[in-house]
Chains A and B, each alone.
Chain A
Amino acid sequence: MVLPPNVSEADFHAALGEFRSAVGAAWVFSSDEDVALYRDSYSINWGEPDERVASAAVAPAKVEEVQQIVRTANRYRIPLYPISTGRNLTYGGSAPNMRGSVVVDLKRMNRILEVDEKRAFALVEPGVSYFDLYNYIRERNLKLMLDVPDPGWGSPMGNSLDHGAGYTMSAFRDHFGSHCGMEVVAPDGEVIRTGMGAVPNSDTWQDFRYGAGPNVDGLFAQSNFGIVTKMGFWLMPMPEAFLSGTVTAPRHQDLDALVYEVSYLEDLGLTGMPQYASPVGRSAVGPGAAAMATLMQNGWPSAEAVENFVAAQKLPAWSVQLYFYGPDETVHANWQAAKRRIGKAIAGAKFQDGEFLTLPIPKEKELTQSDKPRLGIPALEVFNMVARNAGNANDPPDGHADLFVTIPRKASALFESAHVLFEAYKELGLPAQQNPFPTPFTYYSRCFWTGTTVPTWRDPAKNARSRALFEKVMNRCAEHGWVGYRTNPAFQDLLISKYSFNNHSLLRFQEKLKDAVDPNGIISPGRYGIWPPNMRKHHA
């Protein structure tokens, strides 16, 4: 049995007794067998002394029970760690941020409280998954489209509170940015509603986010200032049609113009999330492998060498898939505008019409529909990339830890960051995966993300190597101002240490707030670097 830090066994058992009174004995998990179900399946510290394991878990079914749990935790100084669906894999899963915390498992709070078709919003509890919300909308034939992340078993609330993102139009891809209104149990047990939810009898809680005065919603994301128990989201009206199209650009140097033109279209709201790729780069994991190895054999190649390489491969350097949502007339018009603008900007650009679909997808065609998240359909198909597959058939990993850093939305930054990652891998003596054909993640429309995925294992020696790589890449990127937006709990202190302007004044401000609203430090100690005073580390 693991105990919370600085809590006696007697106090811990007294607290568990109060939790049982609050939620019922069946919903307090304290046996070793049950608590083991709250381990992070993808832990990068699996089986090691600093693996973040829980001391117990408690699963309330309603907000009043959450309040009772919080009040008990204050009495006994029990650290709590709330999870929604507990599927935040690669970022901690259902395990706590600090070893010995009691997980507050909100999965049983799974009510979809309201979906308004005409005003296009939903109000949900933490345990609602994207699958649940999708099925609710589908069963009622509501003309609304969700924006979903790759793993459909996640929670709209949990995903947005960790700044997760999806695939459709930029206004909806930013899941925190598209929320509207929260209910929160504060660390003292009081219930708060934000925005218009603070106005008794208001009917605009999910329509206007700000209300009046300071907007505090951001305090409850990636943080530890309360337990969010309800959250509203703006949804996209179901478009009549979906159209995809592919653009190719022949030369390596064309990426700069391609990024500008695609960004122009996206910033005007004419296209959804662009999907960049490199036909030359993709060939390097197949028939072009030997040629790429030759290009990279003496280190990072010159621009001239890269351009000559592209010409010899007889493949376009770049491609981008564009996705249009809207009425039949406008999706085709937007694709025509894209072709005209990009054709004028990039000599030799080519265009291929893609799939045209009338929405919503008929129910009987859902299972065979590809790229479901592009169409707002929850799925788990992305896990094929990390499950046993042809590339890792004899030694599949047990999980993975993602490291994405934010870089400017321009080709030069993408090339520079690929070069930095290449050198970081080389410094560790690992085979470098990077080459001059990196493609960005474009979940957030105003920046690029780039980075790497590190395997995790149930083997301490292998995990030690993965941690070394993760830290190396994070540190090297930070030297250039490229820092992550989200990370595994094992690296949250390191990540937050990079946000160090003016002697960490941002973190110090957050700590002052933490001390004021959670003086006992019971909510998620250490989450994103915010610790209670007795656990706080030096900033410098």
Chain B
Amino acid sequence: MRPAVLLLLLVGFGNCLLAQTPSETNGKAVFDKWCAPCHGAVAPKNVMFGNGALAGTSALAVKYKGKLPAVLEQRTDLTPVMIKRVVRYGLFGMPITRKTEVSDAELEDVVAYLTRNRKK
């Protein structure tokens, strides 16, 4: 086998491995872009008009009443199935997220990020 062909195969194999390994780092970037505007930890202060609370974090605070963290990034009980289900199909006011917005690979990264501290 010629060296150039071998190199291409190795690069391809490496990409394949990378593609199969969800990235917590990228998961955080995807979370920050797509999830944090509703599920972030930092809410506005000194609201001039309206309600400045973050919709997702605020809704979970009402739902769990302190039994679970309202901030998703602080949760240790989220499962991959639960995360994928809610992202893809929505829940109450949270809408469906399409694959042209968050790809399946990016969703795996988000799962890796949100389950990084999961209790086994």
Contacts and interface: CB of A to CB of B under 8 A. Distances in A.
B70 to A, nearest CB: 11
Given A384-B53, A388-B59, A397-B92, A355 B48 contact: yes
Given A107-B98, A367-B40, A368-B44, A384 B92 contact: no
| Interface of B (DSSP majority class) | loop
Interface residues on B, range: 35 or more
B80 interface: no
A433 interface: no
B46 interface: yes
Interface in B27-60: 33, 37-38, 40, 42-56, 58-60
A385 B38 CA distance: 12
Contact of A371 (B38, B48, B88, B89): B48
B44 A370 contact: yes
A371 B44 contact: yes
Contacts of B44: 367-372, 381
Contact of A396 (B42, B92, B98, B100): B92
Contacts of A381: 37, 44, 50-55
Contacts of A367: 40, 42, 44
Interface residues of A, number: 54
A354 interface: yes
Contacts of B45: 368, 370
Contacts of A34: 99
Contact of A389 (B40, B59, B88, B99): B59
A94 B58 contact: no
A98 to B, nearest CB: 19
Interface in A313-370: 321, 354-355, 367-370
Contacts, number: 131
Contact of B100 (A108, A369, A389, A397): A108
Contact of A368 (B42, B51, B89, B90): B42
Contacts of A127: 100
Given A41-B96, A368-B42, A397-B93, A387 B59 contact: yes
B39 to A, nearest CB: 10
A431 B92 CA distance: 23
Contacts of A379: 37
A93 B62 CA distance: 26
A388 B98 contact: no
A94 B98 CA distance: 9
Interface string A149-169: 000110000000000000000
A399 B63 CA distance: 17
B46 A355 contact: yes
Contacts of B14: none
Contacts of A374: 48-49
A264 interface: no
Contact of A380 (B38, B62, B89): B38
A367 B92 CA distance: 25
B95 A87 contact: yes
B18 to A, nearest CB: 18
A238 interface: no
Nearest to A456: B93
A93 B92 CA distance: 15
Most buried by B among A277, A354, A383: A383
B44 to A, nearest CB: 4
A104 B111 CA distance: 28
Given A41-B90, A390-B62, A398-B93, A354 B55 contact: no
Interface of A: 27, 29, 34, 36-39, 41-42, 59, 85-87, 89, 93-94, 105, 107-108, 127, 131, 152-153, 244, 275, 277, 321, 354-355, 367-372, 374, 379-390, 393, 396-400
7 contacts: A108-B100, A127-B100, A275-B49, A371-B50, A384-B52, A384-B58, A398-B93
